[in-house]
């Protein structure tokens, strides 16, 4: 119970209520003491008025009046004259005097606490203002045993009442917390436990139902998180199924491409100048395709293999990319420009960098051809002390807003109808594997520009 929220709330409530009652008790007991003494002053004044009215009084009647007033003597000041009206033997010397006329609250509280802390009876003098203009001053002498007993009895009654109030209040608050906090929280926890057991079941997603603002906000946030997680798990499952299908296709495609490589050996023996010029390009394309299929089969997972770094002349690599796209642009007014310096050598995985550049050039070419206008695709590069910078620019129509928003997200960033958006996702992942980045610099009606940065690290400037 003490570990639960409601149990701790119950205990704290009882403690706080008792603390509040204690803070009330102190001034209350001081007020009770003051009222007790004022009551003795009033009784003494009435007894003195009886004596003044009768004139002469027998000793027995005087003792009876003092006993009823519970004092030893009474002094009145009338017309600036101080008069001992009633008197009897005082059992002990007067130890303290208390003036109740305009006494500060702190003084009354201090005197009350001292009286409770002093168990030995004392004889005290009390000075007050007579009621109903019965004189200028009234002064009595009394013993404190009756006062302290009455104060203890009054204090115990207050403490018992405070205890009952605190228990009742704590119980009421405990029930309120159970109804409005603990039960909704338990419902949320129960939903989280059920959802954790089967996060792919969309029926278990939290349905906000609390009427408390804070709890409802928590439920709505949890609903959003669970919905996103369920969607991500379903997408992951789809990607896993797609990966299995790709592995199977890659296996058969590798066999087909291997057979195609055998045919290229015969093609290279042709005497036709055009065939001789195109055959090496075909061989390189088939080799890259076979290598890609083998990599897919070797890893069988979504992550790309770690790059195998080597030094490459970027202009030659870009020339291969452009040559692979020339056949696709025949008959279209699309110009491919290799603006890479001939002496720029970088350190990268040649196959992976080729895939990235080929993907960017292909996307740019398709965008220009869809637009049906004259266009140009330029690949340029530069370097500084820290990194190599490659830019692929085109004069196409630019990316639509939806494509820019989900540019590097699989199955969301596709531009063309039926596109999956996997190309740029894979390209960005390959560059991250190099420790670099693939970024969209700009995209508007004047064209699109992608920037690739590759860090030099500790390799220094290549020669």
User: Residues 348-393: pLDDT tens digits?
Assistant: 999 899 989 988 998 898 888 888 778 999 999 999 989 999 999 9
Name the band, by pLDDT with cuts 50, 70 and 90, for residue 452.
Answer: very high
Domain boundary among 274, 302, 330: 302
Q: Each residue of 336-359: b (16+ CB within 10 Å) or e?
A: bebebeeebbbbbbbbbbbbbbbb
Name the band, by pLDDT with cuts 50, 70 and 90, for residue 458.
Answer: very low
Residue 67, classified by CB atoms within 10 Å of its CB into exposed (0-12), middle (13-18) or buried (19+), is exposed
323 and 398 together in one domain:
yes
Q: Is residue 176 part of a domain?
A: no
DSSP string of 268-288, one letter each residue: TT---HHHHHHHHHHHHHHHH
Q: Are 206 and 227 in contact (CB under 8 A)?
A: no
Domain count, the chain: 3
107 and 66 together in one domain:
yes
Give 325-339 pLDDT, tens digit per residue.
887 777 788 899 999
pLDDT, position 357: 93
Query: How many Cα atoms occupy the beta-carbon half-sphere of 434 within 13 Å?
Result: 27
DSSP string of 103-169, one letter each residue: --HHHHHHHHHHHHH--S--EEEEEEPPGGG--SEEEEEEESHHHHHHHHHHHHHHHHHHHHHHHHH
Which region among 53-67, 274-288, 423-437 has the lowest average model confidence (pLDDT)? 274-288
* Domain encompassing residue 252: 200-302
Report how far residue 25's alpha carbon sits from residue 11's, in angstroms, rounded to the nearest whole number: 21
Domain boundary among 302, 328, 354: 302
380 and 420 together in one domain:
yes
| CATH number of the domain enclosing 383 | 3.30.565.10
Return the axis-axis angle of helices 5-54 and 105-117, rounded to nearest 10°. Answer: 100
Please check the confidence at residue 298 and state whether its pLDDT lies above 90: no
Q: Is residue 19 part of a domain?
A: yes
Q: Is residue 156 part of a domain?
A: yes
pLDDT, position 302: 47
Q: Is residue 175 part of a domain?
A: no
Name the band, by pLDDT with cuts 50, 70 and 90, for residue 46.
Answer: confident
Give 394-428 pLDDT, tens digit per residue.
998 888 887 777 787 765 545 554 444 567 888 88
Q: pTM above the 0.75 mark?
A: no
SS3 of residue 349 by DSSP? coil
47 and 112 together in one domain:
yes
Mean pLDDT of all residues in the chain?
79
Over range 291-304, report the average pLDDT. 53
Report how far residue 457's alpha carbon sits from residue 335's, in angstroms, rounded to the nearest whole number: 35
136 and 210 together in one domain:
no
321 and 373 together in one domain:
yes
Return the axis-axis angle of helices 350-371 and 273-299, rounded to nearest 10°. Answer: 110
50 and 137 together in one domain:
yes
SS3 of residue 1 by DSSP? coil
- The residue whose two tokens read 């003098």 is 125
238 and 374 together in one domain:
no
| CB-CB neighbours of 399 under 10 Å | 19
263 and 287 together in one domain:
yes
Domain boundary among 245, 276, 302: 302
Q: Is residue 191 part of a domain?
A: no
Which region among 149-158, 186-195, 335-344 has the lowest average model confidence (pLDDT)? 186-195
Over range 5-27, report the average pLDDT. 76
Q: Is residue 187 part of a domain?
A: no
Contacts of 182 (CB under 8 A, 6+ apart): 4, 5, 6
Return the axis-axis angle of helices 105-117 and 145-177, rounded to nearest 10°. Answer: 100
Contacts of 160 (CB under 8 A, 6+ apart): none
9 and 117 together in one domain:
yes
323 and 291 together in one domain:
no
Name the band, by pLDDT with cuts 50, 70 and 90, for residue 319.
Answer: very high
In terms of Cα–Cα distance, which of 322, 328, 305 is closest to 358? 322
Report how far residue 7's alpha carbon sits from residue 19's, in angstroms, rounded to the nearest whole number: 18
Cα distance from N-terminal residue to C-terminal residue, the chain: 74
Q: Is residue 190 part of a domain?
A: no
pLDDT, position 230: 83
Q: Is residue 270 part of a domain?
A: yes
pLDDT, position 339: 95
Cross-strand pairs, 337: 378
- The residue whose two tokens read 């690599």 is 317
Contacts of 174 (CB under 8 A, 6+ apart): 6, 9, 10, 13
Report how far residue 261's alpha carbon sits from residue 21's, in angstroms, rounded to the nearest whole number: 95
265 and 335 together in one domain:
no
């Amino acid at each position: 119970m003490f570990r639960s929220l409601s149990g701790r709330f119950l205990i704290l409530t009882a403690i706080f209520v008792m603390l509040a009652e204690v803070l009330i008790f102190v001034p209350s007991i001081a007020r009770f003491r003051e009222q007790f003494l004022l009551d003795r002053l009033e009784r003494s004044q009435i007894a003195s008025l009886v004596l003044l009215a009768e004139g002469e009084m027998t000793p027995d009647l005087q003792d009876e009046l003092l006993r009823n007033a519970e004092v030893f003597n009474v002094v009145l000041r009338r017309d600036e004259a101080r008069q001992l009206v009633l008197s009897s033997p005082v059992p002990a010397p007067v130890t303290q005097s208390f003036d109740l006329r305009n006494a500060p609250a702190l003084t009354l509280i201090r005197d009350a606490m001292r009286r409770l802390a002093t168990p030995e009876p004392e004889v005290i003098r009390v000075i007050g203002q007579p009621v109903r203009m019965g004189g200028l001053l009234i002064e009595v002498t009394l013993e404190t045993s009756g006062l302290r007993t009455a104060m203890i009895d009054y204090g115990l009654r207050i403490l018992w009442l405070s205890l009952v109030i605190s228990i009742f209040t704590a119980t009421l608050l405990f029930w309120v917390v159970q109804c409005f906090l603990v039960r909704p929280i338990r419902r949320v926890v129960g939903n989280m436990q059920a959802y954790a057991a089967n996060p792919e079941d969309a029926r278990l997603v939290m349905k906000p139902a609390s009427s408390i603002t804070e709890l409802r906000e928590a439920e709505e946030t949890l609903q959003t998180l669970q919905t996103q997680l369920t969607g991500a798990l379903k997408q992951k499952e789809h990607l896993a199924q797609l990966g299995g299908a790709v592995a199977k296709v890659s296996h058969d495609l590798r066999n087909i491409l291997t057979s195609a490589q055998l045919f290229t050996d015969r093609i290279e023996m042709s005497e036709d100048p055009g065939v001789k010029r195109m055959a090496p390009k075909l061989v390189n394309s088939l080799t890259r395709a076979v290598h890609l299929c083998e990599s897919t089969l070797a890893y069988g997972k979504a992550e790309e293999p770690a790059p195998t770094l080597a030094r490459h002349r970027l202009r030659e690599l870009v020339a291969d990319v452009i040559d692979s796209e020339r056949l696709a642009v025949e008959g279209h007014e699309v110009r491919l420009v290799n603006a890479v310096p001939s002496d720029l050598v970088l350190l990268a995985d040649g196959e992976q960098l080729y895939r990235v550049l080929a993907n960017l050039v292909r996307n740019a070419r398709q965008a220009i051809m869809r637009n049906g206008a004259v266009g140009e695709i330029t690949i340029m590069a530069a370097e500084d002390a820290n990194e190599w910078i490659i830019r692929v620019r085109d004069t196409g129509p630019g990316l639509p807003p939806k494509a820019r928003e989900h540019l590097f997200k699989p199955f969301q960033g596709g531009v063309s109808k039926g596109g999956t958006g996997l190309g740029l996702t894979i390209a960005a992942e390959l560059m991250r594997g190099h420790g670099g980045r693939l970024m969209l610099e700009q995209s508007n009606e004047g064209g699109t520009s992608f920037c690739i940065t590759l860090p030099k690290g500790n390799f220094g400037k290549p020669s």
